[in-house]
Amino acid sequence: MVHRKCQRPPPGIISGEGKTIPTESRKRSKRFFLERRCFIMTAWWKFRKSRIVKPTKNRGVLPFTRNVRDLVRRIPSGKVVSYGRIAALAGDGRQARQVAWILHATPENEGLAWHRVINSRGCISLPPSSGGEEQARRLRSEGVRVGPGGSVNLRKYEWRIRPDSVRKPPLAERDLEKL
3 state DSSP class of 126: coil
pLDDT digits (tens, 9 = 90+) for 84-110: 999 999 988 889 999 999 999 988 888
Question: Does some domain include residue 8?
Answer: no
Domain count for the chain: 2
pLDDT digits (tens, 9 = 90+) for 4-43: 554 555 555 555 555 555 555 555 566 666 666 666 666 6
Q: Let me know whether 96 and 139 are in one domain.
A: yes
The CATH number covering residue 106 comes to 1.10.10.10
Beta strand spans in 17-62 (E): 19-22
Question: Does some domain include residue 176?
Answer: no
Q: Let me know whether 85 and 160 are in one domain.
A: yes
Distance between CA atoms of 12 and 75, rounded to whole angstroms?
Answer: 75
Helix or strand holding residue 63 (H, E): helix 63-74
Which one is predicted more confidently, 105 or 178? 105
Distance between CA atoms of 20 and 22, rounded to whole angstroms?
Answer: 7
Q: Let me know whether 85 and 30 are in one domain.
A: no
Which residue from 149, 147, 170 is spatially nearest to 157, judged by alpha carbons? 147
3 state DSSP class of 120: coil
Give strand pairing partners of 158.
80
Contact 151, 119 (CB under 8 A): no
- Could you tell me the pTM of the whole model? 0.60
Cβ-defined contacts of 154-159 (< 8 Å, 24+): 154/80, 154/82, 154/122, 157/78, 157/79, 157/80, 158/79, 158/80, 158/81, 158/82, 159/75, 159/76, 159/79, 159/80, 159/81, 159/116
Q: Let me know whether 71 and 152 are in one domain.
A: yes
- Structural domain for 41, as ranges: 13-51
